[in-house]
Structure 1
């Protein structure tokens, strides 16, 4: 069995992974929260059902759940829930298959970025948060 250089730093790498995965969402969630009326308008422009509820869910997931994941609190189930949320935002917010260039390319990139983030979240759901977390204590 080969020993990876990062294996000895597993807990530190998992902490870094949580911070890197969630920083974008916590920041975005804060912007949505502090500009809630604009967030509701944006949700309506996307055709989201119940735009106020959709905006509230987005703020809760991105800001609150993002912070919980950084802290490593209920990491496995919340990472799985967040992966489903990111899939929903990809399908609702980046439907590149309905667009023409240049919006098609830009939204395809965003859609694929969401899939990549889902991969990280699913890895976190399987691996757990590591020792440097609320769960690890």
Structure 2
């Protein structure tokens, strides 16, 4: 039994999904590149390996890959890479299991938000970008 068919809206919804999923990454990637020194400092504070390289990877992934996914270019492989990146950043950046009180609660929210975003990225990797993309698949 079919409850709701969105097939005729598929390509528009996939475009909207790409944009909505990438807003967070593009905005924060832009912030990271415009305040690169602070980004390196943050990476060091959370124990990221080689903070300057970690910061560069974050900028490339969030801003670069984010914009490419919005355009629908190499969407499937980039969405898969970003899903992995998002889970890794959840583990490194939001280790709620070693905290207590309100800090633990806020980190837990951000951890599971990252995990949920990774789920959306996996769906995008599976479905592809749709017709309104540079990939056109």
* TM-score where L is the length of structure 1: 0.97
Following the alignment from structure 1 to structure 2, what is the Cα–Cα distance between the partners of residues 42 and 16?
A: 31
Aligned Cα root-mean-square deviation (Å): 1.1
Match of 1:16 in 2: 16
Structure 1 residue 3 displacement after superposition: 6.8
Structure 1 residue 7 displacement after superposition: 1.7
Following the alignment from structure 2 to structure 1, what is the Cα–Cα distance between the partners of residues 49 and 114?
A: 21
Match of 1:41 in 2: 41
Match of 1:97 in 2: 97
Task: Give per-residue Cα distances to partners, 1:97-121, cap 9 Å, x unaligned.
Answer: 0000111111100000001101100
Task: Give per-residue Cα distances to partners, 1:47-96, cap 9 Å, x unaligned.
Answer: 11100000000000000000000001011100000000001110000000
Structure 1 residue 27 displacement after superposition: 0.6
Following the alignment from structure 1 to structure 2, what is the Cα–Cα distance between the partners of residues 61 and 85?
A: 8
Q: Mark the runs of 5 or more structure 2 residues left unpaired by the alignment.
A: none
Aligned length: 137
**Which of structure 1's runs of 4+ aligned residues deviate more than 6 A?**
none
Structure 1 residue 5 displacement after superposition: 3.8
Match of 2:127 in 1: 127
Match of 1:117 in 2: 117
Q: Mark the runs of 5 or more structure 1 residues left unpaired by the alignment.
A: none
Q: Secondary structure at the match of 1:104?
A: helix
Q: Counterparts in 2 of 1:27-106, with a 5 A limit? A: 27-106=27-106
- Pair 1:107 & 2:107 matched: yes
Following the alignment from structure 2 to structure 1, what is the Cα–Cα distance between the partners of residues 8 and 89?
A: 35
